[in-house]
Chain A
Amino acid sequence: MSKQTTNSNGVTCIIDSDGIHCSYYVGDDITFRKTFKNLTDKEISRLSVDDML
């Protein structure tokens, strides 16, 4: 089972048993991706381009 959420900064996270897979579309066909192990709902809602670098 997985759950998808997009926060107000445009970071999309898919949460599944492997972790929290986050992506941020920069533009011009480039997406920054990162997987986090543990994040609270509040931390997910605050993710931004900064965290994806």
Chain B
Amino acid sequence: MYYPMIIKSLMDGKVITRFNYRAGEHAFKYKINPHILKEGIQAKQIDKVTIRRKIHLFRDKDIQRNLKDAISKHEFQNLTFIDIDVEDAIKFINSKYKEGTPKHTHRILSVYEVSRMKDTQTAEGIIKMDWMFKVDRSGRWHTPIAHLAKDLRPFLKTIDGKRFVELDGACSQLTFCHKYLLEHVSGKVSNSNIIGEGGTPTDSDNEYEPQWGLDGPKPMGRGSLPSYDVRIDLMWRNAIFNGNAYQLLMDGMQWKKSRDEFKEYFFKNLFFNKYRPKLTKMEEAFKHYFPHEFQRLRKTKKRIGNKELAVQVQRYESRFWHKWIGSSMREKFKLINYATIHDSILLPEENVNEVMVEVTRQAIRFFNPYDSDEPLIPTFRVKTFEAVSDRGTELNRPQK
């Protein structure tokens, strides 16, 4: 119903021209005016209140859909208590990046976007805000904080001026993936006898076929299966929960480049690459060292595809950080400002230790749903942004 109005408005504004009209025929063609093509589209303030309200209403509908529960509302509210040192951040960007380059422009825009978060208002029953908020299908939150370049995090602060530190899990993707593979490929761990490392996968490992739903694999119900053996690569499991899995593989493969380059190579060639009959070098190496985890990973990729595997692993991550930790933050640390950045959390430095105890406690519950004599305990680390070096990287930053 707005279509003719939009066309008229574009024509009135000399953005487009109508041509090729024939009387008696409902055929119109439009072309963009040459000055628009030459000068580009310029941003213009929307002055008309009714149009501004319509835009807010449209955005509000999407936001409210994702903020149905009290935990999400609490986390969203916390985002509006975060600010950034605009002047210092811009000075830093100008000193490090060449004006006009994408890195410079994107950083400047994101600083201003973060600075607008504190101006969020609830009025006339709708949330009025001028910053990005989107929840993707894995449950990850996309906010200006989550998308802020890492070298600008030192400039973040709470609205009352407290600086942030970052708390994250070492090798967290590997731990979430391990849990996912065990629960969805091997069935419920409660039904199985975990047996140790050693040997290569046999045909009996393939006896159990999991149930796969239309929208992805579903966990098996408790007690629905007879007991069977699940083979675990103990060295792998210890390495991911101790946080040294990447180093272990780098040593095993005699990797000469940087740690980050290795992790990128690892994800591109083993975890989230497409299933192909011929193995990549990384897959060959992983299969050699950790045959059982490799078999579960391969089976899953063949069944649901690499794209869906990534979504499923991130669902575990989102559930842990947004729901489990979000719930703790709301119930136990109501007055502590925080923001989740996918697989980590920003907290004021003075509160990080008490929250870390709770995060570890929740992680033990998350990764050990059944009683165990030797519970899996993930490793969490704190990254500080106390100073910014000449290269703009965080100092004292532990390796993940």
Contact = CB atoms under 8 A, between A and B. Distances in A.
Contact of A7 (B132, B136, B272, B343): B136
Given A12-B142, A49-B306, A50-B274, A6 B134 contact: yes
Contacts, number: 83
Interface in A23-44: 25-30, 32
Main secondary structure of the interface of B (DSSP, over half): helix
B106 A26 contact: no
Give the interface centre of B105, B171, B317 by most chain A CB atoms within 10 Å.
Answer: B105
A30 B263 contact: yes
A6 B142 contact: yes
B263 A16 contact: no
Given A6-B142, A9-B311, A12-B147, A28 B343 contact: yes
Interface range on chain B: under 10, 10 to 19, 20 to 34, or 35 or more?
35 or more
A15 to B, nearest CB: 11
Interface residues of A, number: 25
Interface string B301-333: 000001100110110010000000000000000
Nearest to A7: B136
B394 to A, nearest CB: 11
A27 B246 CA distance: 13
A32 B268 contact: yes
Interface of A: 1-2, 4, 6-10, 12, 14, 16-18, 21, 25-30, 32, 48-50, 53
22 contacts: A1-B43, A4-B132, A7-B136, A8-B136, A10-B137, A10-B142, A12-B142, A16-B105, A17-B40, A21-B106, A25-B140, A25-B146, A26-B267, A27-B317, A28-B171, A28-B263, A28-B343, A28-B400, A48-B307, A49-B272, A49-B306, A53-B274
